[in-house]
Structure 1
């Protein structure tokens, strides 16, 4: 395919930072497209020797990169954003072809990379500290922020390029260098992005070790989390994985940013604009075939409008176009692999076993690729299967009577990423956004759970991990704070009025 050639993807690709003289990897990962199961290409798995060489080169690059003024680092990030604009179409197609999300979403993911580059360029001139008044005469106090060093980024298959950029571009303007391990299910996306970024570094005579790529399974990720040379690990994935990362990184007193599971809900009030709520629900529930961390999993509906919402959803689900994600008429592409399809089928069986009812969809389609019909099920919030995050297009319908009950149901799961409420009632809206309302990191009124903008800090509470990436002041997570005191006088007064003469 032409877009693969444009991105420099070959039949066999190095999985460790391109342009390096590493020993050839004997082990490889094959990338398969979920659209029809065909093999796309192979990628070399990073060996331990290669990994250590990458870390060493990253350390060398850090000495150069961290000494550049932040606005100059921002200029390099600006050029990366410009290069991504040039490659937006082929990279968007690769995201679609390797991951399975529809082409519009693939393009949107690359646009998100471009947007975060633009944001980071501005941030490079706003790494602000504070000044404080000292209690001692002729003293000045202030704080400043310094880079950490190497930032390790472990990303998931569902956003194979965007989540890396949230971390990498902000961390870069802060003066850090990056080592990235993407998902073994989407390794070509990492290879393609590495090649794009390497062009910018080469054009500016900068060391390639500023941005680094390693490829492999859990073992490579464990090397990173155990490595004391990497002070910060930003990991996106399952709750189970996140707990292991937190334990390992915390055990060496390192820092971590965790973006883990979401079990996101929309509350639809009797005072909602129903059609608006339905549109947001469908996009959140079936977009990316239900494989977003912000996918809408639970729909908590006021009993007076429950049947109306249910009937409208059923009519839409009957006509959703499922198929080749590169076809512009498709709304739902495939799941990532057969394992994901099997997980969905197991969840549907568990729903029925616990007393729920699947009222539409769920069955795999009889064709090449990993296609399923999005499902809707009537359930109770306390079911074990509802309490879990099934990474699949299953939407749970739940009734409520009062607002207090709705909020209790909403918050009654262990995850706390994204949330939404549809209502035209100001009191309901303010209740949902108050301290007694949504307990999630993201809470929206009259928009869905998916589609966060890069300007806000992204992340969640409870078992979602508590991390924050992307906008607002998330940049502080990639830096260390330093408090400074400057004595410009000719005496040495002590704080708290302590008298200590010698």
Structure 2
């Protein structure tokens, strides 16, 4: 069966109307072979505005539904995702090129955040606050915020939506989702899965609670600029974040920005090298380096450099590359030609700075329009130039270090950083790395790689933006507004000293 035919079958099984993926003006290609697998109708900016208005009306009804009842809808969504896991995971592999385990793993994250959000629906707690006024009680309450806009990137086409949507729904918000133009099919599939959950849930869920806007840049701009969208959660490059952030700030809207990460790891003299090797290889090569948590820079102490690097080179030279649909390869394709070209430009720049490159060449998959690459290990004389930039491809820059305090400065010397890790059995090094003068990233790990964020611990905190967190902990507060309430249960109204008036 052709990939196009398989894609059509999966979408039909998931409940997506055939008109939604055929005959449209937006061509969808699979990075696995480069072939076009669907043609999706795109929405205009005007139609996007109408969908947002409808979502606002849905919000006004949804906010009055009790939070535990809202949690029931998310519970049903989790059930539907469990039933659809194999199909949706396969569709992720087709549309993005992830290997099977990572496609399924992304859907599992969706299921996990639904479980988290169901419990959260009974834990939207406010504080009781001590007040200076006798006979009064002061407290905080949390209320639904409004329409939540979600802009997602191609590399996590379904999980990012769910991290935001599951929390937003239990908080009483409606959701408008602008997926990447490269991954509209998985978004349509999620919309259909959510519709099944709504059908089981009943009439308490208003029409328009979820809208999916498939379109170009102007559609994303319409979402960012719409006055009825008080929060936009955007995932993508730092360049995109620099455009979205000021537009939201101009109208005093909130932003949750999860942007690129030039993430680093440190291998200390006392590190367990077997453990470090596995974590480094997975973190740097997984998903063909197309994660925001991909390990991109590695600092290795000079005392263990010569022991670790030959083993790391061997891992890079032996890793399997190939189609995630027809092989057991560990590294799949880059998303498109532009990604491959950017990878080659970065490697050329590294060579010009004295970098020694292992790997990095194009892998012949048999499909001229598909862009596979051997992961690249680049030994650099120092951190400079292209090393300070994030390239969304499987490139790992490796550098020696001698002084721990100095390497912390080097670790933190990049503009974008989402995740970080250190490999050490020295308690002082580990605790310093986690301290205020250690890693400046939102995720800091000890003896585990940079990738593999887990539901429950809020993901994000990209250091360049301070742009918020999602998927766990107290991230739900971003999707709500807080009010402070004071109740006077006394018989008198205390006035400021020296103030009185006759009320007779």
* TM-score scaled by length of structure 1: 0.95
Q: Give, in angstroms, the shift of residue 138 of structure 1.
A: 1.5
| Alignment-derived partner of residue 443 in structure 2 | 442
- Answer whether contact 1:455 1:471 (CA < 8 A) is retained: yes
Q: Tell me, what secondary structure is at the counterpart of 1:317?
A: helix
Determine whether 1:370 maps to 2:371. yes
| Alignment-derived partner of residue 399 in structure 1 | 400
| Alignment-derived partner of residue 115 in structure 1 | 112
Q: Tell me, what secondary structure is at the counterpart of 1:35?
A: coil
Q: Which moved more, 1:453-462 or 1:370-379?
A: 453-462
Q: Tell me, what secondary structure is at the counterpart of 1:318?
A: helix
- After superposition, the Cα gap between the structure-2 partners of 1:318 and 1:219, relative to the gap in structure 1 and judged at 3 Å, is same
Residue by residue over 1:67-118, the C-alpha shift from the partner in whole angstroms, topping out at 9 and shown as x without a partner, is: 0100000011000000000000000000010001101000000000000000
| Alignment-derived partner of residue 58 in structure 1 | 55
- After superposition, the Cα gap between the structure-2 partners of 1:464 and 1:139, relative to the gap in structure 1 and judged at 3 Å, is closer
Residue by residue over 1:204-237, the C-alpha shift from the partner in whole angstroms, topping out at 9 and shown as x without a partner, is: 2322311111011211110011111100000001
Distance 1:37 1:11 in 2: 22
Q: Tell me, what secondary structure is at the counterpart of 1:266?
A: strand
Residue by residue over 1:22-58, the C-alpha shift from the partner in whole angstroms, topping out at 9 and shown as x without a partner, is: xxxx962111110001111111111133212211221
- After superposition, the Cα gap between the structure-2 partners of 1:499 and 1:362, relative to the gap in structure 1 and judged at 3 Å, is farther
Distance 2:321 2:357 in 1: 19
| Alignment-derived partner of residue 3 in structure 2 | none
Distance 2:21 2:453 in 1: 33
| Alignment-derived partner of residue 148 in structure 2 | 151
| Alignment-derived partner of residue 234 in structure 2 | 235
Distance 2:450 2:423 in 1: 11
Give 1:73-472 correspondences, 5 Å limit.
Answer: 73-203=70-200, 204-205=202-203, 206-327=205-326, 329-365=328-364, 367-368=366-367, 369-463=370-464, 465-472=466-473
| Alignment-derived partner of residue 501 in structure 1 | 501
Q: Give, in angstroms, the shift of residue 498 of structure 1.
A: 6.1
Q: Which moved more, 1:48-57 or 1:130-139?
A: 48-57
Q: Which moved more, 1:317-326 or 1:457-466?
A: 457-466
Q: Tell me, what secondary structure is at the counterpart of 1:271?
A: coil
Distance 2:218 2:181 in 1: 11
Give 1:28-43 correspondences, 5 Å limit.
Answer: 28-43=25-40
Distance 1:313 1:360 in 2: 12
Distance 1:166 1:194 in 2: 15
Paired residue total: 491
Q: Give, in angstroms, the shift of residue 357 of structure 1.
A: 2.2
Q: Give, in angstroms, the shift of residue 168 of structure 1.
A: 0.6
Distance 1:158 1:172 in 2: 24
Q: Give, in angstroms, the shift of residue 363 of structure 1.
A: 3.3
Residue by residue over 1:346-384, the C-alpha shift from the partner in whole angstroms, topping out at 9 and shown as x without a partner, is: 111111122322133343436312110000101255422
Q: Give, in angstroms, the shift of residue 8 of structure 1.
A: 3.6
- After superposition, the Cα gap between the structure-2 partners of 1:379 and 1:96, relative to the gap in structure 1 and judged at 3 Å, is same
> Gaps (5+ residues) in structure 1?
16-25
| Alignment-derived partner of residue 10 in structure 2 | 3
Residue by residue over 1:229-258, the C-alpha shift from the partner in whole angstroms, topping out at 9 and shown as x without a partner, is: 100000001111101111000001111010
- Answer whether contact 1:11 1:41 (CA < 8 A) is retained: no
| Alignment-derived partner of residue 19 in structure 1 | none
Distance 1:461 1:409 in 2: 17
Q: Tell me, what secondary structure is at the counterpart of 1:289?
A: helix
* TM-score scaled by length of structure 2: 0.94
